[in-house]
Structure 1
Amino acid sequence: MYPLLLEIAGVRLHSYGVAVAAAVLLAIWLAGLEARRKQFGPAVVEELALPVVLAGFLGGRLGYVVGWEPELLWTDPVGIVAVWRGGLALQGGLVAGFAAGIWFCRRRRLPLWRMADAIAPALALGQAVGRVGCFLSGDAYGRPTSLPWAVTFSNPAALAPLGVPLHPVQLYEAALDLGLLAVLWATRRHPSFDGRQFLIWAAGYGAIRVFTEAFRGDRVEIGLGLSLLQAVSLTLLAAALAAGAVLGARRGLAGGRRAA
C-alpha cells in the first residue's frame, strides 16, 4: 500500500505514524466528551493522556520486542524502547497504558471504573484508526487467500510479503472495532453499574482479536491451534466476563439491601 506518504528534504512521513497520531488525538477528543458528560473536570482527560500515552508507547514497543524481536533484549538495549523505529504490540501498549491510568486515578482520587467507562469508546475508535495505519504500512498482515477481496502488497517498504494475495485482516479488525464503538456509544447513557462499558469494550476486544488472529499471517503459534495473542485475548475475554458478573452481582445485592 502506502507505507511512506511523502518525503520532504529528507524528512519522511510514514502512514503508520500519521495513523497512530490521528488515533491518539481522536481518542483523547472522544474521551474528553465522555468525561465531561460524566462530570469529570474539563482538564482531567488531558492530564491523564500524557502518562497513559507515554506508557502505552513504551509498553507497546516492549511487547513487540518480546514477541517478535527478542534478540534485542541482549543485543540492542536502546532498541527495546526505540518507538521511533516502528513495531508496536497493541496489547502490550494497553497493559502499560492501563497501569498508568490506574496510577493516575488513585493519585487524583478519581473513581476508577467511571473513568474507565469514559474512555471505553475512545479505545475502540483509536484501535480502528490504528489498524488502518497497519494496513497502509503492510504491518499485522493477513494469511494468503484466493478470495476476491484479497490485497497484494508491492511496495518494498511494506512489512507484508510482496506479490502474494492476502486477507486484509487489518481492515477486518478496523471494521469490527467500529462495530464495537457503535455498541458502546448506543449503550453508554444508562449503564447498570460503573465499569460496565469498559468491560463491554474488554470482552468485545478480546473476542475480536481471537477471531482476527485466525487470519493473521505473522501470528506466533504456541500450540493447540492458538497463537500467543489469541491466548492473551481469550484470557482478557474471560476476565471481562467474570468481572462483569461480579460487579453486576454486587450492584444487585446493593439494590436489594436498599429495597429491604
Structure 2
Amino acid sequence: MLMYPQINPIALQLGPVAIHWYGLTYLAAFGLFYFLASRRLQHEPFRSVSVPSPWTRRDVEDILFLGVMGVVIGGRLGYCLFYKPGYYLSHPLEVFFVWQGGMSFHGGLLGVIGAMVWYAHSRRRPFWQVMDFVAPCVPTGLAAGRVGNFINGELWGRSASPDLPWGMVFPQSGSMLPRHPSQVYQFLMEGLLLFALLWLYARKPRLERRVSAVFLMGYGFFRFVAEYFREPDDFLGLLALNMSMGQWLCVPMLAFGAWLYWSAGRKAVPGR
C-alpha cells in the first residue's frame, strides 16, 4: 500500500500572499475550457450558425466569464443547501466564508445552467444549443478539480483491502488504514474518460439536446459509481438505501439526462 505524500497545499508564498494549488487547479480548469471551447467553434452546427449571429471567440469569453460566476456562486450555495442546511441557517454569514472551503459540483452545475439561461436569452440563442456547445468542454475542468482535492488530501476514499496495490493511507483521515484514492478514480472517470467519450460524440452533428443529455447521464453514472469508493461526509454518513448524498444528487441527473435524450429523438420525428 502507498502513503499519501503530504503535499504542501500552498504552491507559492509571496510575503503575506499565499497561492494555493487548489486555486491554480481552478485556473487550469478555466484555461482548458477556453482552449476546448475555441476548438468547439469548428464543430457543427456552431461553425455554420449565422442566426442571430455567428459563433465567435467573443461568445467563448462571455460564456467563460458567466460560467465562472455560476460555478463559484452555485457551488458554494449548493454545498450550504445540500450538505449543511441546518448549520448555515443558524450561521448565515458563514455562507460567504468561501476560504473555509465547501463547494458542491451539483450546486455549481445549477449555477452554470442559470448563467447559460441568462446568456442564451441575452444573445437570443437557443438554450440547448448553448448547453450542447458547453458540455464537452466541462469534464477536463472537473479533472483539474480532482487534482486539487488530491493535493489537499481531502475527499479520501473508503477503507480498502490491504492487498490493493494502490491502496493509500491518508493520515489526516484519523486512521492508518489503506483507503481507495477516490480522488484519482474521479479524475479518471468523471474527468478524462467522460471527456474522451463526450468529445468524440460531440464532434459529429447530433440532435439538439443530446450532447447535453450524454453529459448528464455520463457524469451521473460515473459519479454514482465513484461514490461507492469515496468516504461519505462524516456529518451526513449514508442516507436512505445506503446511498450517499452525492449518489442521491446523481439520481435526478440520470433521470433527466435519459428523458432529455429520448425527448430529443421524439421531437425530431415529423408530426410529433
TM-score, normalisation: structure 2: 0.84
CA contact (8 A) 2:67 2:116 kept: yes
The residue that corresponds to 1:124 in the other structure is 139
User: 1:217 deviation in Å?
Assistant: 0.8
1:31 aligns with 2:37: yes
- Select the residue among 231, 236, 257 that pairs with 2:253: 236
Any stretches of 5+ residues in structure 1 without a counterpart?
A: none
1:173 aligns with 2:190: no
User: 1:57 deviation in Å?
Assistant: 0.6
Offset from partner CA, 1:22-50 (integer Å, 9 cap, x none): 11221132123213541312201211222
Q: What SS is found at the alignment partner of 1:131? A: helix
Judge which range, 112-121 or 201-210, deviates more.
112-121
CA contact (8 A) 1:180 1:204 kept: yes
Judge which range, 181-190 or 73-82, deviates more.
73-82
Q: What SS is found at the alignment partner of 2:57? A: coil
CA contact (8 A) 2:76 2:108 kept: yes
Judge which range, 161-170 or 113-122, deviates more.
161-170
The residue that corresponds to 1:108 in the other structure is 123
Q: CA RMSD in A?
A: 2.1
1:81 aligns with 2:96: yes
Judge which range, 212-221 or 98-107, deviates more.
212-221
Quote the Cα distance in structure 2 between the aligned partners of 1:153 and 1:215: 14
Counterpart code for 1:137: N
Quote the Cα distance in structure 2 between the aligned partners of 1:234 and 1:27: 26
- Select the residue among 185, 196, 206 that pairs with 1:182: 196
Quote the Cα distance in structure 2 between the aligned partners of 1:111 and 1:184: 21
Indicate the percent of aligned positions where both proteins have the same amino acid.
32
Quote the Cα distance in structure 1 between the aligned partners of 2:12 and 2:216: 36
1:253 aligns with 2:262: no
Quote the Cα distance in structure 2 between the aligned partners of 1:52 and 1:132: 20
Q: What SS is found at the alignment partner of 1:214? A: coil
- Select the residue among 221, 225, 236 that pairs with 1:207: 221
Quote the Cα distance in structure 1 between the aligned partners of 2:22 and 2:178: 21
Offset from partner CA, 1:29-88 (integer Å, 9 cap, x none): 212321354131220121122222112111111222234444542443332033333221
Quote the Cα distance in structure 2 between the aligned partners of 1:164 and 1:89: 27
The residue that corresponds to 1:217 in the other structure is 231
